[in-house]
Amino acid sequence: MRGKVKIILGIETSCDETAAAVVRDKTEVLSNIVASQVKLHAKYGGVVPEIASRRHVEAINPVIKEALEQAGCAYEDIDTVAVTIGPGLVGALLVGLSAARAIALSLDLPLMGVNHIEGHLYANFLENPTLKFPLLGLVVSGGHTSLMIVEDDKKVEYVGWTLDDAAGEVLDKVARYLGLGYPGGPIIDRLSQEGDPQTFAFPRPMMDSGDFNFSFSGLKTALIYKVRDDPNLRKEDKVRDLIASFLKAMVDVLVAKSMAAAQEYGLSRIALAGGVAANSLLRSEMKRATEAQSMTFFCPGLPYCTDNAAMIACRAFDLAEETQEQGQRQRDMSLDVFSTLRIPQKRSR
C-alpha cells in the first residue's frame, strides 16, 4: 500500500470556472488557479452549458500546467489526483474527469472523485487548519442551498436542502430581472449596502416549517410582483431599498434555519461556504447570531467561497485517508459524473 498522501492535484470544472490547485498536507495551498468564464456567459444572464463545456476543453490543460508551475511541482511530485464529479453540469464535469483520469492513468496515481458541495464546506479548513468536527455546514451557492452535519468520522450527512431555487440562483435571477447585471450576487451585495432593509416587507419562506429545508422561489416571485405593481421600483433611488429588504429576508431565513439545526443536533460550530458565503450581510448576521449563542462561526476567505480546486483537493485528503484505512481500491476508472445531489438517507434528529 502507498504511504500517507502528501500532495494532491485538485481539478474543478463543475460549472463556469476551470480550476486546478496543488495542495500539500490538506491545507497548505501551493497554487490555486481559476480561469473564469463569467464574461462569456454574462450576455446570456446565466451559464450556458454548451459554451461552458467548450471553454473547459480549451482551458483545462493550460490551467493544470499553470497550477503545477506555480506550485513548483512536476507531475512526479503529485501523490493523488482529485476531481469534482458532481453535482454540476454533466458536460463540464466530464472535461475535468477526463483530464484527471488521463493524468492518474498515465502516472499510475490514485484518483479520487469529490462531491462539489463537500468541497465547498472543506474550503473552511484552508484558512482554519485547526477547525474541528463535529460541525454544522451551510453551503449556499448558485446551484445549492444545503445544511449538513459532519461528525468526527468526516462523513457528511444532509439535514436540509432547497426545495426549488438555490439562494445564489435567486440572486442571479432577481438581478437579471432588474437589469442589474451578472452574476447578481456580488452586485446585490454592493447595492444593498446602500439601501434600507426595513423599507419593503418580504416573506420569510419556510421559516416556521419545522424542518431545515428552504424555498426561495416564492421570495423571488414576491419581488417580481412588487415591481410589476410599481415599475418605479426599478429606479436607482428605490432599487437599493428593494434589494436590501429582499436580501435581508433571505439572510434571515438562512441564519434562523442554521441556528435551529445547530440547536436541534447539539452542535456549537457553524461553517458557512459556497459563492453566496461571500455575501457581507450573510457573514455578519451569521457571526452575530452565533456569537449571541456562544457558538463558533467559520467562513472561508473570499477567494475560497466561489468555485476553486483547492477546496476539492482539501476534501480529498480526508477521503484518501478513509479509503487507505479501509484498504479500498483508490483508482476507480469507472468513476462517473452526476448532475444532481443524491441525498443519502436524511439524518434523524
- Binding stretches for ligand KG4 (CB under 6 A): 15, 141-143, 168, 171-172, 183-186, 189, 274-276, 278-279, 306-307
Per partner kind, with CB cut-offs from 5 to 8 A, the member of Zn ion, ligand KG4, none near residue 8 is none
| CA 202 remoteness from chain centre | 26
The distance between the two most distant Cα atoms of the chain, rounded to a whole number of Å, is: 68
Binding mask 90-129 for Zn ion (x = CB under 5 A): ----------------------------------------
Residue among 122 and 200 whose Cβ is closer to Zn ion: 122
| CA 114 remoteness from chain centre | 13
Per partner kind, with CB cut-offs from 5 to 8 A, the member of Zn ion, ligand KG4, none near residue 186 is ligand KG4
Per partner kind, with CB cut-offs from 5 to 8 A, the member of ligand KG4, Zn ion, none near residue 197 is none
CA separation for the pair 139, 211 (Å, rounded): 17
Task: Show binding-site residues for substrate.
Answer: 139-143, 172, 185, 189, 279
Residue 16 touches Zn ion, criterion: CB under 5 A: no
CA separation for the pair 5, 68 (Å, rounded): 17
Please, are residues 249 and 204 in contact by the beta-carbon 8 Å criterion?
yes
Residue type, 153: D
Please, are residues 15 and 89 in contact by the beta-carbon 8 Å criterion?
yes
Cell numbers of 140, please? Answer: 449556499
Residue among 141 and 146 whose Cβ is closer to Zn ion: 141
- How many other C-beta atoms are found inside a 10 Å radius of the C-beta of residue 130? 6
Angstrom CA distances, 139 to 110, 118, 158, 282, stand at: 28, 8, 11, 12
Helices (H) and strands (E) in the chain, counts: 10, 10
Residue among 10 and 143 whose Cβ is closer to ligand KG4: 143
Residue 318 touches Zn ion, criterion: CB under 5 A: no
Q: C-beta of 229: minimal distance to ligand KG4 in Å?
A: 26
Per partner kind, with CB cut-offs from 5 to 8 A, the member of Zn ion, ligand KG4, none near residue 185 is ligand KG4
Residue among 103 and 170 whose Cβ is closer to ligand KG4: 170
Per partner kind, with CB cut-offs from 5 to 8 A, the member of Zn ion, ligand KG4, none near residue 118 is none
Judged by CB under 5 A, the residue of 165, 189, 241, 307 near Zn ion is 307
Cα angle 37, 102, 5 (rounded to 5 degrees) comes to: 95
Interface with Zn ion by CB under 5 A: which range of 187-195, 206-214, 222-230, 302-310?
Answer: 302-310
Q: C-beta of 252: minimal distance to ligand KG4 in Å?
A: 15
Q: C-beta of 116: minimal distance to Zn ion in Å?
A: 6
Nearest to 194 by CA among 128, 281, 312: 281
- The enclosing H or E element of 138 equals strand 135-140
Residue 162 touches Zn ion, criterion: CB under 5 A: no
Residue 12 touches Zn ion, criterion: CB under 5 A: no
Per partner kind, with CB cut-offs from 5 to 8 A, the member of ligand KG4, Zn ion, none near residue 183 is ligand KG4
Task: Show binding-site residues.
Answer: 116, 120, 139-143, 172, 185, 189, 279, 307
111-115: strand order across its sheet: 28-36, 17-24, 7-12, 80-86, 111-115
Binding site for Zn ion (CB under 5 A): 141, 307
